[in-house]
Amino acid sequence: MTAQTHRDQIRARLAAAAPAINPSILGCDYAQLGQEIADMEQAGAKVLHLDVMDGHFVPNFTFGMTIVEAARRATELPLDVHLMMEQPGRYIRQFREAGADVITVHEEVCRDQSELADLVAQIRELDALAGIAINPPTPLERIDKVAGNCDLILCMSVMPGFGGQEFDHVALEKLAALRDRPDVTAFLEVDGGVNVETIADCTAAGANMLVVGSAISGSDNYRQRIVELERLIK
């Protein structure tokens, strides 16, 4: 019997958890990051979402490999690292070595689908799950040739850069289209404005990875909020 690769193990964990709520650490208190992560894990989180912003591709700057490393030391949960950055290929290996289990890159930073496919292959060669993200204005045709050969597709429901934005329903149309494609076996993820009002629509459209930021981090009780969200998606 062939031994499972790290990618196989992470894929199996995500499949067992799906539909999974992925709390984003974007709104956490970074002075107490370890405790924040422990609180989310104890509240029932099965995956953690880490938003890396470079201040160029998006109008905000968050963190780099050191925070990913700190999160890795704090938990054994899968780390879903979303690279909102230009030239991600220069840093994929460093983020994988820092502890990323899923690495997602944006279509919008690639010249064409060939370059996007190369990034997917590079991530997989590092034994991580490879994700593709598209912003609300980006049509699915821009990832048409790669969608069937990646591990995760993230449909942004806001323009990336800042938390707390209003949900853009165009993401639901994209999720439903991807769900109905027989060649797409990737996890379908949605990020931006996902909360108690929108999360049920997301799962109905096909999302099985649901990134939740301020709806959890802004809550006084992480456990109560995650239970409420899980009730809505199930």
Q: Is 164 annotated as a binding residue?
A: yes
Neighbours of 214 (CB within 10 A): 17
Active site residue 51: yes
Q: Is residue 24 a known part of a binding site?
A: yes
51 labelled binding-site residue:
yes
Per-residue b or e along 106-119, where b marks 16 or more CB atoms closer than 10 Å to that residue's CB: bbbbbeebeebbeb
Residue 192 backbone zone (phi > 0: left; psi -120 to 50: alpha; other: beta): left
Q: Is 157 known as a binding-site position?
A: no
According to the annotation, is 55 in a ligand binding site? no
Single-letter code of the amino acid located at 166: E
* Cα-only R_g, the chain: 16
Question: Any known ligand binding at 169?
Answer: no
Cα 72 from chain centre:
16
54 among the known binding-site residues?
A: no
* 144 carries a ligand binding annotation: no
Residues 6+ apart with CB under 8 A from 15: none
Whether residue 193 is annotated as binding a ligand: the answer is: yes
Given 8, 51, 101, 127, which residue is catalytic?
51
Task: Tell which residue, 61, 60, 49, has the closest CA to residue 24.
Answer: 49
Active-site residue identified among 101, 180, 191, 201: 191
Verify whether residue 191 is a known catalytic residue. Answer: yes
Binding site for a divalent metal cation: residue ranges?
A: 49, 51, 82, 191
Binding site: residue ranges?
A: 24, 49, 51, 82, 161-164, 191, 193, 213-214
Residue positions annotated with a catalytic role: 51, 191
Binding site for substrate: residue ranges?
A: 24, 82, 161-164, 193, 213-214
